[in-house]
Structure 1
């Protein structure tokens, strides 16, 4: 387990899947995800099998509260490009509908950044979020990510178009 001050990141276990699927299907959280459709247990199982494959381009972790040992959410690196040493940073806290907070999410992200840059030797983390996602805008700013720009009207939600916002953090930004 990778440990921070408040949370630990560990491999996602099969026992985590029902809770992760429940959170993933929560409409209040799902509106911020790229994959906006509900998933079923078959979809969840296929996802799980794809991330545990040692050749996967994804490194996903369960977020565990160190004090209570409860599952809180998931985070990880997706679409890892080993040649260009970059990955998409992903995170959410389903526990207590936190989604993104100033304690557990920040702690998880700092652990993930250390893992990405020091263990995997990645150079660049990036993220795409939607313009309606104010919690993640603040989150990425707090973590020192650079706002790189936006693609206009990429996401249809609540009967209107929203933009995609792009953020990045380089290993050299950490110094």
Structure 2
């Protein structure tokens, strides 16, 4: 467990899968994710078994609120490249439809970045988000990420093409 001021990051457990799946399936949140389809319980279980438990290129964590141990969301580093020492940053809060906030998400994000740089010895952490994701466009720079580039019209959602925005943070 990695303990912060407001939240802790811990291993995702089977009991977390259903609330995480329900949050990911909310249309107001799903619009921000690469997986555009509704996630079935079987898909969620397969993700847990294949990625969370067995893929060395993935480090996913449950975000737990410190004062009551409530599951709040998930975060992680994906596509970990140990040779080039970089990984993709992922985070969301599902509890109370927060998605991203200044208190809990910021604390979790800082813990995850510290883990990536200090424990995994990464040189670079990057994030790809869509141009409709205004909360993360404010959130990522608050953690030190810099906008590095845009790929035009990469994702079709809600009847229109949106851009991918790439952010990076160096150790």
**Superposed pair shares fold, TM > 0.5:** yes
TM-score normalized by the length of structure 1: 0.95
CA distance in structure 1 between the aligned counterparts of 2:160 and 2:38, rounded to whole angstroms: 20
CA distance in structure 2 between the aligned counterparts of 1:34 and 1:47, rounded to whole angstroms: 14
Q: Give 1:86-125 correspondences, 5 Å limit.
A: 86-125=86-125
TM-score normalized by the length of structure 2: 0.98
CA distance in structure 1 between the aligned counterparts of 2:131 and 2:11, rounded to whole angstroms: 31
Name 1:167's counterpart in structure 2: 167
Name 2:142's counterpart in structure 1: 142
CA distance in structure 2 between the aligned counterparts of 1:160 and 1:23, rounded to whole angstroms: 23
1:132 aligns with 2:135: no
Gaps of 5+ in 2: none
In the TM superposition, residue 57 of structure 1 has moved relative to its aligned partner by 1.0
Name 2:76's counterpart in structure 1: 76
CA distance in structure 2 between the aligned counterparts of 1:158 and 1:62, rounded to whole angstroms: 29
In the TM superposition, residue 56 of structure 1 has moved relative to its aligned partner by 2.4
Q: Which moved more, 1:155-164 or 1:72-81?
A: 155-164
CA distance in structure 2 between the aligned counterparts of 1:144 and 1:63, rounded to whole angstroms: 20
CA distance in structure 1 between the aligned counterparts of 2:26 and 2:59, rounded to whole angstroms: 23
Number of residue pairs matched by the alignment: 170
Name 1:10's counterpart in structure 2: 10
2:37 partner SS: coil
1:48 partner SS: helix
CA distance in structure 2 between the aligned counterparts of 1:83 and 1:41, rounded to whole angstroms: 34
1:117 partner SS: helix
CA distance in structure 2 between the aligned counterparts of 1:45 and 1:156, rounded to whole angstroms: 26
CA distance in structure 2 between the aligned counterparts of 1:35 and 1:168, rounded to whole angstroms: 22
In the TM superposition, residue 155 of structure 1 has moved relative to its aligned partner by 1.2
Gaps of 5+ in 1: none
Q: What is the root-mean-square deviation in Å for CA atoms of aligned residues? A: 0.7
2:122 partner SS: coil
